[in-house]
């Protein structure tokens, strides 16, 4: 039986990714398990690390903005929570409601505030404690929340005025394995992937009005330098 002939009923998200994602998803998973990459400072004061998501069993990215003491979509890094003791975080920002990940570990030790865009707060009605923010709100000096939507109502980008500028994205863009920019597979976009992609393209085109040169992706490697032009090329190529 060929892999694509396997009955798909009951497949986990990780199983679907394996079927659709070699080499974009499987190779990064093997690298995570074998190489076990450590945290790195990708730009001055901007720290990136990866880890295996406990639910989807795929590598995901987390970030720490040291200047603003802000964690973005955090898992605990291999260096442990001890790494943050000399540079304690004050808040955790989720780029969408599904990216709580291991925020509770940071909250317990550092008493961080966890924040998610207001349309996603229903996810946390029974706990844990998460505060809302409005699109357009300044979350820390130089960090503003930007509405993306389309793939889910709470989908958020963060525009960060550090250096040449950064944009952090949730699920609107992926870059697994450090390859080209792309969308998540259609099976993760609900019943009408075409409409979702059209909405995402409109929002991503809006990001091109911002000043930035790097992209911080929650799923995949960050793109450091040349990111605005890469995003412009992706939008234009996808629309055509």
Could you write out the DSSP letters of every residue in 35-62?
T-PPPEEEETTEEEEEEE-TTT-SEEEE
pLDDT tens digits for range 106-121: 999 999 999 999 999 9
pLDDT of residue 24: 60
Residue-wise DSSP of 213-236:
SEEEESSB--EESSHHHHHHHHHH
Least confident residue range of 31-35, 125-129, 195-199 = 31-35
**pLDDT band (50, 70, 90) for residue 10:** very low
pLDDT, averaged across the chain: 89
Model confidence at 16: pLDDT above 90: no
Q: Which residues contact 171 (CB under 8 A, 6 or more apart)?
A: 95, 96, 98, 151, 152, 155, 184, 188, 218, 219
pLDDT greater at residue 149 or residue 11: 149
Q: What is the pLDDT of residue 8?
A: 43
In this model, does residue 229 exceed pLDDT 70? yes
Instruction: Say how far apart CA 72 and CA 215 lie, in whole Å.
Output: 13
Higher pLDDT, 57 or 162: 162
Secondary-structure percent of the chain, ordered helix, strand, coil, rounded to 5? 30, 25, 45
Neighbours of 101 (CB within 10 A): 22
More confident residue, 97 or 58: 97
Q: In this predicted structure, what is the pLDDT of residue 6?
A: 34
Distances (CA, A) of 9 to 54, 70, 165: 22, 40, 44
φ/ψ of 146, rounded to 5, equals -120, 130
- For residue 223, pLDDT beyond 90: yes
Lookup: tokens for 224: 């450091």
- pLDDT band, very low/low/confident/very high, at 21 (cuts 50, 70, 90): low
Collapsed DSSP state (helix, strand, coil) of residue 145:
strand
Buried b (16+ CB within 10 A) or exposed e, 158-185: bbbebeebbbbbbbbbbbbbeeebebbb
Question: Regarding predicted confidence, which is higher, 235 or 35?
Answer: 235
Q: What 3-state DSSP class applies to 204?
A: helix
In whole angstroms, what is the distance from residue 171 CA to residue 156 CA?
A: 9
Q: How many CB atoms lie within 10 A of CB 90?
A: 13
Please determine, for residue 12, whether its predicted confidence score (pLDDT) is greater than 70: no
Whether pLDDT at 17 is above 80: no
* pLDDT > 90 fraction of the chain, expressed in percent and rounded: 76
User: Is the pLDDT reported for residue 142 higher than 90?
Assistant: yes
Of residues 159 and 6, more confidently modeled = 159
Spatial contact of 37 and 30, defined as CB atoms under 8 Å apart: no
Pairing of strands 138-140, 143-147: antiparallel
Can you give the pLDDT at residue 26?
65
Q: What is the CA radius of gyration of the chain?
A: 17
Q: Which of 52-61, 184-193, 226-235 is predicted least confidently?
A: 52-61
Nearest to 167 by CA among 120, 97, 222, 89: 222
Average pLDDT over every residue of 10-35: 56
CATH top-level class of 38-239? alpha beta
**Domains of the chain, residue spans:** 38-239
Distance CA 240, CA 238 (A): 5
């Amino acid at each position: 039986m060929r892999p694509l002939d396997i009955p798909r009923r009951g497949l986990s998200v990780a199983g679907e990714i394996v079927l659709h994602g070699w080499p974009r998803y499987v190779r990064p998973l093997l690298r995570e398990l074998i190489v076990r990459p450590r945290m790195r400072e990708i730009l001055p004061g901007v720290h990136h690390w990866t880890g295996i998501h406990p639910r989807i069993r795929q590598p995901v990215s987390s970030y720490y903005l040291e200047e603003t003491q802000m964690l973005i979509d955090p898992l605990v890094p291999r260096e442990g929570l001890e790494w943050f003791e000399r540079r304690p975080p004050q808040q955790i920002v989720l780029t969408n409601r599904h990216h709580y990940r291991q925020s509770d570990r940071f909250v317990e030790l550092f008493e961080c505030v966890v924040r998610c865009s207001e349309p996603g707060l229903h996810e946390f009605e029974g706990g844990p404690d998460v505060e809302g923010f409005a699109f357009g709100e300044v979350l820390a000096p130089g960090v503003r929340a930007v509405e993306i939507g389309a793939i889910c109502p709470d989908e958020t980008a963060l525009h960060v005025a550090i250096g040449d500028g950064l944009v952090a994205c949730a699920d609107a863009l992926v870059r697994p394995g450090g390859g080209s920019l792309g969308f998540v597979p259609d099976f993760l976009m609900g019943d009408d992937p075409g409409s979702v992609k059209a909405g995402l393209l409109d929002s991503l085109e809006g990001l091109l009005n911002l000043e930035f040169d790097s992209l911080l992706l929650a799923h995949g490697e960050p793109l450091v330098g040349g990111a605005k032009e890469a995003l412009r090329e992706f939008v234009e190529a996808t629309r055509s």
